[in-house]
Amino acid sequence: MEVHEKDIQYAEVVKHLALVLDRYRLYPEKHPAAQLAVRNAMTVLDSLLQAETNLTLGFVEGRMVVNDQFMDSKKAGVGEVLRECQRLQIESLTFERGVGEAELSSLFKLMAAAPKTLESVGGFRSAFEQASFEHIRLGTTLFKLVREEEEVVRKGEVGPGEKGTGEEAPAERAPRIERMEDVIEHCSKGSEGDIEIDVERLSFELEKKPDAVAQQMLVRAEGLEGLKRIVSGMAGFLERRLAQPFIREGKDFSAPVARLAREFRKAVLNPAVPAEFRASAEGLAQSLEQSADAIKLELVVKAFQESGGDGKALARIGARFLRGKEAREKLGDRLRVRLVNLGVPEDEIDQALAKLEERKDPKRSRQLEISPEELEELRRLRDRLGQEPALPAEKEAVQFDQEKKRVLDEINAAMRASSEPRAAAAALLSKIAPFSPPGAASAVRVIHRETKAFEALACRNLNGGKPNGWQSAHSLARVVVETGTPLAIPNLQGDPRAEDQEFVRKYRLMSYLGVPLLAKMDVGVLEFFTKEEHGFSDEEIRLLATVAEQAATALHDSQIQEGMTKLADELAKSNRVKEEFLSVISHELRTPLSAIMGYAGMIRERTLGELNPRQEEALEKLMTQSSELLRTINTILEATSIEAGGVEVDCREFSFKSLLEELKSLYDAPLGKELTLVWDTPGELLTMKTDRVKLKHILQNLINNAIEFTDKGQVTISARCFPQTKKVEFKVADTGKGMPSECLPMVFDLFRQVDSSGARPHGGLGLGLYIAKKYSEMLGGDVDVETEPGKGSTFTVTVPFETVVQPSSRLDPFRQFIP
């Protein structure tokens, strides 16, 4: 493998390993996003291990080494994997051939575990050793960087001890903070040292659980001074550390901080909280609010600097980030000072702020716990759905939740009413239209289970609603599936991720949002395209992600239902072909066989001349085998008639005793083996009303089956009447080989012959018990069997005195699986 090609493969593996690590921090290991990340990582890792015996990641002097080649720290995932391995004090990590998804999943579950969890088992290395990995090793090989030659030199293996072979100890690594409780602990100690933070995980926790974070701040505080230290440290941390990545990306992180301030104020005013805390509640909460204001101010200034720095840009930025009058009043003076220092004329500042004042100000209550972004999204939704205007903010919030729940319920109901995936996807796009930007095109695409290619199920507002035009444009959908997270692109024109630029230009598309559809092992994407530039807000993305999460389950169920329906149809078709084939073949066989038996009968009657003894013996064998063949053909025709639903029940009154006497007469002839038939039947005269022919056929089949599988001993035929239940019970017990218990579920199956030997030493097609079972059910009864290997079997038939005829119907055992 060429060096350049190796570098590409190594970078691809590291990128996917970093993605797995990221997913395991956010989701449990069984979550579809986590499983998908492991599966993708395993694919690229396995491909590399086909060419090399192992893959070793080493970490030296703040750099990553992969199989003795340094990795560029700017490549995707390198920094994240490096930081995580340094935090866990991993010197090297080796993946060997044979590693599978289960081992890879266990490793990253361990790496993503909480620090306290690892400490409880003696640290990461101890936990790793306890896990007993077969194809993943922790190495203690030390590396030294020879800067003059830019190459890696192995220094040899170091034993289990912590001291190497004269190498200097690595510098102490900065602690890594991944949870808000760790941030609170850090703030409570007033620590000034350097720390590493997991931005995504911390921001996610702050956005989702601000009330829990506020409670943790109170619980950790040791007295009022301790609480002040925590609040002050938290405000500084949020403003100077956690918010900075969002500010660099042009995202407003002030809303989560403002929500934390509101939750903290509410928590500290609780009567159960110490009085000295409550007395300082307002001042402490204001510290957090000031942090939120500083974040928003920094965001506005940065956006202004990047936009060109004129009055029009300021008005546009202010309209986006300073919608509320309250925000403008709080930040106006400080914003003016910052802008003047940047050289912006004061008259331009005044004009821009005046334009903001002319805009209709949202009537937002200070007591309402909802962000300006959420209120803005609420009003947009209200306008699209034709709601009555000018509702108080509290009512708007309630109405928003109710409307969202109603639409989610409608989407779920509409999709579940569609058993076909394409219809379900079309229903989803129709119901979700009010939540998407006006005029937006939308599509649902899934990965085909067998071909692994994207399949467009439905689209709306593009290509005439025909999904086929979307088949080739899948580069963005592929990114969404690989990451398992939403992807928003404000401008598709020229974006390197949008590889299908011809498709983008053809339909004049501008902005894009893709949301993953994850349900069990099925994956897909819900996509939106706009023809005008549209910045999808965090609230829009969260809302559509919620819809997608619910829709994915319904879509998965419709795919399962469609698969079961197709399977049932295919099996039914197969059964029909089989029945038609058997019926035709049986008829075609019976015609010449009838001629053979007719002429044989004429010969036996000496119509065509006298016979000598040898001819008579041969003719008798011919007649016997022909009769057996005719019986077999008739049995096949009976079975196919049952399968086709063409058998009718002919109920007539008859004497129970006469039926038994007729049965006995059929078995008067010697059986040709050491076998005795014992008849234990009642003498009373009972009148039954059922299909006499079918009942006789049932009993004959059971008796013949017992004789066939019993070489010596006896077959006992017994009958009992039960006037209380108005039923008759027949038992046929033999002393034959019996059957193992695992064979019982299939003993009545079509063309099934079961015995304890596992071979097929006996004649017959395995239709007798099948016909007996079906005929018993037609007569309103049933057949059961008790058996034990080496001791024989007992078949019990129970039928009512009088059969109530049910409308005949074709039996299809596979339809029971279809909802």
Domain identity same for 683 and 550: no
Contacts of 577 (CB under 8 A, 6+ apart): none
Q: Which residues are registered as beta bridge partners of 724? A: none
Q: Is residue 582 part of a domain?
A: no
Contact 765, 632 (CB under 8 A): yes
Q: How many domains does the chain have?
A: 5
In sequence order, what E strands does 520-560 have?
A: 522-530
Q: Which of 618, 643, 668 marks a domain boundary?
A: 643
Q: Is residue 169 part of a domain?
A: no
Domain identity same for 128 and 184: no
Domain identity same for 561 and 602: no
Place of tokens 């109920």: 651
Contact 597, 630 (CB under 8 A): yes
Backbone φ, ψ for residue 75 (5° rounding): -70, 150
Domain identity same for 446 and 304: no
Tokens encoding 660:
């038994």
Residue range 24-41: average pLDDT?
77
Q: What is the DSSP letter of 797?
A: E
Tell me what pLDDT residue 786 has.
92
Tell me what pLDDT residue 150 has.
39
The type of residue at 274 is P
* CATH code of 661's domain: 3.30.565.10
- The per-residue pLDDT of the chain, averaged, comes to 75
Per-residue pLDDT tens over the stretch 649-662: 889 998 888 888 88
Whether residue 668 has pLDDT greater than 90: no
Pairing of strands 63-66, 54-60: antiparallel
Tokens encoding 732:
């046929």
Q: Is residue 637 part of a domain?
A: yes
Domain identity same for 610 and 753: no
Q: Is residue 274 part of a domain?
A: yes
Write out the residue range of the structural domain in which residue 483 sits: 395-567
> What is the rounded distance in angstroms from the CA atom of residue 202 to the CA atom of residue 538?
16
Residue 358 CA: distances (Å) to CA of 157, 324, 445, 759, 819:
73, 12, 44, 92, 59
Domain identity same for 775 and 637: no
Q: Is residue 463 part of a domain?
A: yes
Q: By mean pLDDT, which of 86-95, 150-159, 395-404 is the weakest?
A: 150-159
Higher pLDDT, 464 or 756: 464
Q: Is residue 572 part of a domain?
A: no
Domain identity same for 375 and 412: no
DSSP 3-state of 250: coil
Residue % of the chain over a pLDDT of 90: 5
> What is the rounded distance in angstroms from the CA atom of residue 59 to the CA atom of residue 64?
5
Residue 464 CA: distances (Å) to CA of 114, 470, 472, 494, 507:
51, 11, 16, 25, 12
> What is the rounded distance in angstroms from the CA atom of residue 121 to the CA atom of residue 571?
54
Whether residue 466 has pLDDT greater than 70: no
Q: What is the dihedral of CA 465, 469, 473, 476, to 10 degrees?
A: 10
Contacts of 336 (CB under 8 A, 6+ apart): 346, 349
Domain identity same for 631 and 656: no
Q: Is residue 406 part of a domain?
A: yes
DSSP 3-state of 728: strand
Place of tokens 């639409």: 407
> What is the rounded distance in angstroms from the CA atom of residue 83 to the CA atom of residue 73?
11
Domain identity same for 362 and 408: no
Q: Which of 643, 663, 680 marks a domain boundary?
A: 643
What is the reported pTM?
A: 0.34
